[in-house]
Amino acid sequence: MNTSFLRNTLLAFLYLALASFGVIIIFLPTAFISALTSDFSFLMLVNLFFNTWYIFNYFIVIRKLLAMIKTTNTTPFIFDNVKNFKTMGYCLFINSAFELIIGYKGSQNIGNIQILASNNGAITPTMIICFVSALMCFVIAEIFYKAIKIKEDNDLTI
């Protein structure tokens, strides 16, 4: 019962986050429309593109997590989950690169924790979390791949 409660709580949280990111992806461009029409600049258009891509990457990560949770009913050790972990790793790595750009572009205006700060910017904890999470996804994908290979070898033996 305890594991089903935790699983259902996690699913509820992930579906809520998925819906939230979906709404943000849909309405983020509309928030910039009035600013684009009154004071159009190429930098603002680039900012809109990167913010949408940043949020869309988290949307993809949550979708992949939900897909992997569904496979736990049968067996989680399938090649689709290896692909899902790698996709999540790439998305999180891209987001850590976005955090690096944001951290060095606008860290003077942000009142958060800064690591290795200089006059040009700083490394932020969010950047480090995204980068470490991306690395963990790649490591877990490799572990799943090896587990699948070992399982296939064991299935062939009598």
Please state, for a pLDDT cut of 70, what percent of the chain lies above it: 84
**Residue 137 burial (CB < 10 Å; 0-12/13-18/19+)?**
buried
With residue 80 as reference, give the H or E element that holds it.
Answer: helix 79-106
∠ CA 27-31-35 to the nearest 5 degrees?
A: 155
Please state, for a pLDDT cut of 90, what percent of the chain lies above it: 32
Q: Are 57 and 94 in contact (CB under 8 A)?
A: yes
Q: Which tops the pLDDT comparison, 13 or 87?
A: 87
List C-alpha distances in Å: 58 to 21, 25, 130, 153: 8, 10, 11, 35
pLDDT tens for 109-145 read 455 666 766 666 677 788 889 999 999 999 999 999 9
Residues 81, 145: Cα–Cα separation, whole Å: 9
Residues in the chain: 158
Q: What is the pTM of this model?
A: 0.80
Residue 107 has a pLDDT of 46
